[in-house]
Amino acid sequence: MSRAYCERCAAPITVTIVDGRPREVCSRCGTVFYQNPLPVAAAVVLNEAREVLLIRRKHPPHEGSWCLPTGFAETGETIEAAALRELREETGLEGTIYRLLTARSLDDDFYGDLLFVCFEIERTGGAEAPGDDADAVAYFSLDGLPPLAFESHTEAVRMCESLHREPWAIQDSFVHLYSDDTEGMLSDALVALVEEHAEEICDRWMTAVRENPTTGGYLTVDTVEVRRATLEALTHFCDWLQGAGEMEAFYLDVGRQRRHQGLALADVLSALALLRKEIWTFARQHQVLASPIDVYRVMELSRRIVLFFDKALYHVTRGYGAAP
């Protein structure tokens, strides 16, 4: 907003180039009136379902549009306090500042030059109820946001989502670890890797078996048959990780066959341990465990691999000891 007269001495205001930009300057006392953006604080609040809290604006501008709880910071008020106040006035919630998300300038047709400062806020109390400039309050999933009134709000929500992505993945991995839900786990990536490279894993295992002193008996058996059985074992492994397939009959038969071929039980059990090692080593070398969250997710994978081979060892031993 342009001034006509100086607020200090009441002399007329002129526009003069100062520091390379046109500025309002008093023609008498020389006071320079700098134009500054209006500071706006906004709050990003997530619930336990990982949904973000939005309000629907009751007044112009952008009446009827959804946005974050937001408003101007007042004189003598910190930008953090403004964000908490606006949250309380517009949604009925109390909160505490968790972290700064974004700070962006915006040239708004209605308000002019704005500076949006968006915080993630943790809810500490209150109950959701529209108030002040809002006529509705609702939570929206992060992948189902309505168009927001301000681009900076969309940016803040996406920034918040990106900062939570790895912690949420870690949390989900622990949930999967102790549940029967296998969708989206690290084992999915391993299955894809083993299915694509089964021949190579089999070759590496056969080399290890021939060279390892604990599996010398395998030097005397039919290589073609052993290779076929190993590829079938990898198929059973992938099926089992995906919650399908039956492994008991296959490993009972492996035990019977190896006994019939004259292999010692110790050789057979050691060969199975070597197969588990080759699968694990291959996964590490091909970066199935490449991201930071996999430090945690590997617990899920390790548990499932160990469980599979424990079952395999048990059924092979049963088959080996069964009567012909």
- Between 312 and 137, the more confident residue is 137
Average pLDDT of the chain?
87
- Predicted TM-score of the model (pTM): 0.56
| Assigned CATH for 1-35 | 2.20.70.10
Query: What is the pLDDT, as a whole number, of residue 180?
Result: 47
Cα 154 to Cα 54: distance, rounded to the nearest angstrom:
11
Q: CB 43: neighbour CB atoms within 10 A?
A: 30
Tell me the HSE value of 205 on the side-chain side, using a 13 A CA sphere. 30
Whether the predicted pLDDT of 296 surpasses 90 = no
pLDDT band at 182 (very low <50, low <70, confident <90, very high): very low
- The CATH fold assigned to 38-164 is Nucleoside Triphosphate Pyrophosphohydrolase (3.90.79)
- The CATH fold assigned to 186-321 is Globin-like (1.10.490)
Query: What is the pLDDT, as a whole number, of residue 21?
Result: 84
Domain boundaries, given as residue ranges, for the chain: 1-35, 38-164, 186-321
Fold match, 38-164 / 186-321: no
Q: What is the mean pLDDT of residues 48-58?
A: 96
